[in-house]
């Protein structure tokens, strides 16, 4: 099945409002003809201004996190309604940094993904194994389990709209990319789990690869059958390099 590619920038805890706007000014002209969905996930403080700056363009806005709660006494949290209010059409959930540094479980991620879809914000649901798990041959069981649990509350009628991101932890920010074959092997396993969960709609779900994606390696990764896009950290911080990634390299 032909799936539209989706390239997303995860800026993590980087860029002030001014820096985000400067990025947009340079970046938008470079990707205006992209044959892919293009997404920017700035820190929460820049969501509103960046959302305004990209309005009417072919670039979409994403949050890096969200609360599953609709409102109330949750100091420091943001609701799905607040994200919709500033123009988010996507939100990343279950990034490995949230799971390992902030103790987020797959059950919590599942609640976030459910709340997002109910608000018509598309979740980008992350998964990925540690080096220890890979070396212990636990990649398939661990990542498969993360997917089953994190997608447990997705409405089957909406499943085709979600995005999954496979990001092996050992490849994030390390310069070590999974080889295209290694990534494809896990993406194919994830595709199988999506088929078990959602039937034929599992074929429509886009699966991004993340972990040291760069202009030089994106085309080869994207050539794999089940790799439908990339979630990019470091190489998304400069307009030139992320635009090259959006335009599939070189």
Which residues does the annotation mark as catalytic? 95, 167
**Element of type H or E holding 35:** none
Q: Which of residues 40-99 bind ligand 13P (CB under 6 A)?
A: 95
CB 231, min distance to ligand 13P, A: 4
Q: Which helix (H) or strand (E) holds 20?
A: helix 17-31
Q: What is the rounded CA–CA span in Å between residue 23 and residue 26?
A: 5
* Touching ligand 13P, residues 173-192 (CB under 6 A): 173
Q: Which two tokens stand for residue 28?
A: 């938008």
Residues 121-160 that bind ligand 13P (CB under 6 A): none
CB closer to ligand 13P out of 127 and 198: 127
1-30 positions binding ligand 13P, by CB under 6 A: 10
Paired strand residues for 165? 126, 208
Look at residues 38, 37, 39, 45 and name the one whose alpha carbon lies nearest to residue 19.
45
Site for ligand 13P in 218-247 (CB under 6 A): 231-235
Q: Closest separation between CB of residue 212 and ligand 13P, Å?
A: 4
DSSP 154: -
Residue with the two structure tokens 């896990």: 186
Burial of 233 (0-12, 13-18, 19+ CB in 10 A): buried
DSSP state of 177: P
Q: Residue 138 has which token pair?
A: 């636990």
How many Å apart are CA 93 and CA 71, to the nearest integer?
18
What is the nearest approach in angstroms of ligand 13P to the Cβ of residue 131?
14
Q: What is the smallest separation between the CB atom of 213 and ligand 13P, expressed in angstroms? A: 5
Using the contact rule CB under 6 A, the part of the chain among 79-87, 142-150, 207-215, 221-229 near ligand 13P is 207-215
Q: Which of 213, 221, 227, 246 binds ligand 13P (CB under 6 A)?
A: 213
Q: How many residues bind ligand 13P (CB under 6 A)?
A: 14
210 forms part of the interface with ligand 13P (CB under 6 A):
yes
Phi, psi at 38, each rounded to 5° = -120, 130
The interface region with ligand 13P, picked from 52-60, 100-108, 190-198, 211-219 by CB under 6 A, is 211-219
Q: Which residues bind ligand 13P (CB under 6 A)?
A: 10, 95, 167, 172-173, 210-213, 231-235
């Amino acid at each position: 099945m032909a799936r539209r590619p989706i390239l997303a920038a995860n800026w993590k805890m980087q860029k002030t409002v001014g820096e985000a706007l400067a990025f947009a000014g340079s970046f938008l002209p470079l990707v205006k003809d992209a044959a892919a969905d293009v997404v920017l996930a700035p820190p929460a403080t820049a969501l509103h201004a960046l959302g305004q700056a990209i309005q009417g363009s072919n670039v979409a806005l994403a949050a890096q996190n969200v609360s599953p709660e609709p409102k109330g006494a949750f100091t420091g949290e943001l609701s799905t309604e607040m994200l919709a209010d500033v123009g988010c059409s996507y939100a990343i959930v279950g990034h490995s940094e949230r799971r390992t540094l902030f103790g987020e479980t797959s059950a919590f991620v599942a609640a976030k993904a459910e709340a997002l879809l109910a608000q018509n914000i598309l979740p980008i649901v992350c998964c990925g194994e540690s080096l220890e798990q890979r070396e212990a041959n636990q990649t398939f069981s661990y990542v498969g389990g993360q997917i089953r649990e994190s997608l447990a509350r997705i409405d089957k009628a909406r499943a085709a709209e979600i995005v999954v991101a496979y990001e092996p932890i050992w490849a994030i920010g390390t310069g070590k990319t999974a080889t295209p074959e290694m990534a494809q092997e896990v993406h194919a396993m994830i595709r199988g789990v999506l088929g078990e969960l959602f039937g034929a709609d599992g074929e429509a779900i886009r699966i991004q690869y993340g972990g040291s994606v760069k202009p030089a390696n994106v085309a080869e990764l994207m050539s794999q059958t089940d790799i439908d896009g990339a979630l990019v950290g470091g190489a998304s911080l400069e307009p030139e390099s992320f635009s090259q990634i959006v335009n599939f390299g070189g």
